[in-house]
Amino acid sequence: MVSTQFLSKIPIFDRLLPKDLETLVTLWLPRTLQAGDVLVRKGEPGSSMFIIEDGIVEIRVPDQFAKKEVRVSVLHQGDFFGEISLLDGLPRTATAVAMEETQLLEMRRDDFIQFLLQRPSVAVAMLGEIGGRLRKTNELVQSLASKNVNEEIEEQLSVGDRLADKIAEFGGSWKFIISFMLILFGWMAINSVQLAFQPFDEFPFIFLNLMLSCVAALQAPLIMMSQNRAQKKDRLRAELDYQVNLKSELMLQQLHSKLDEVRAAELQTIQESLQVELTLLRARIEGMDGYSEQRPEERR
């Protein structure tokens, strides 16, 4: 049996009060499917929501090029689908097929609507949740998702991060290699020849080895810091790519909706024009029939 904790994790129910969730739990009805049974088909009216208690359900959509249905997702125990159908009742967008013997819980749209009519506060809470999601969607469509990743990262860098990047950039350049080799050979040359002063780091250059160890110990974490920021840039770039793709998909959906509206308006205009022409044609035919039925003396 479904629990109130599980229902609270479903997006359209997450704002409901515990007492409302307890009532909502009682609206679910058990349903059993055998392997290969079709639960819903694409294009059928959406009249219920489902939760999988046990088993596997495959979600398929038709492929217009291959002329067959292709798998888009596989749902397991604890997954749910069809929650939007409780609100809009629009046709299903995919086909659901049981892969094995499956136990489901089903809530019908009529029961859910009756539940909302008895509790207006629940309907207001759900409208608030849907309105918030719609607002986020509109903000995503209106905003420019194509941002410069480097600028986004630069705005978040601290002084220490900038210094670490500069040091790591210099440590991976030919300037550092040439300068380091010159200092290294100069150090060994000065301490290998006894001139007017006593060498301060005689062979085997113990102090030089200590300095090299310190440089290596400091250089490694600086490089790791830069690598971590590079990974952060990659994650931000992937997120921006996702936003761009989502924005493009939403804009395409809006474009399709506008085209459908234009097409519907054109069909309505054509239908009205045909209706007017048919009315005129019918009136003309009736006039001709009336004229032909008149006697010759009446025509004169």
Write down the domain spans for the chain: 4-142, 149-263
Over the stretch 81-135, which tens digit does the pLDDT of each residue have? 887 777 777 888 888 999 999 999 888 888 888 888 887 877 777 777 667 766 7
Is residue 144 pLDDT above 60, yes or no? Answer: no
- Check the CA dihedral 256-260-265-266 and report its sign: positive
3 state SS of 72 = strand
Reading the block at residue 141, the tokens are 């469509």
Over the stretch 224-251, which tens digit does the pLDDT of each residue have? 877 777 777 777 777 777 767 766 776 6
Report pLDDT for 97: 92
Report pLDDT for 297: 56
Is residue 29 pLDDT above 80, yes or no? Answer: yes
Q: Helix 206-293 vs helix 120-142: angle between axes, to the nearest 10 degrees?
A: 110
Over the stretch 6-23, which tens digit does the pLDDT of each residue have? 777 776 677 778 888 888
What is the Cα–Cα distance from 136 to 113, expressed in whole angstroms? 26
Q: What is the Cα 292 distance to its own chain's centre?
A: 71
The arithmetic mean of pLDDT across residues 187-208, rounded, is 72
Residues 6+ apart with CB under 8 A from 264: none
Structure confidence at residue 139 as a pLDDT band (50, 70, 90): low
Three-state SS annotation for 136-153 = HHHHHHHCCCCCCHHHHH
Residues 6+ apart with CB under 8 A from 128: 15
What is the Cα–Cα distance from 222 to 215, expressed in whole angstroms? 11
| Reported pTM | 0.44
Beta pairing class for 29-33 and 95-98: unpaired
Q: What is the residue whose two structure tokens read 């959509």?
A: 61
Fold of 4-142: Jelly Rolls (2.60.120)
Q: How far from 16 is each of 10, 105, 148, CA to CA, in Å? A: 10, 20, 40
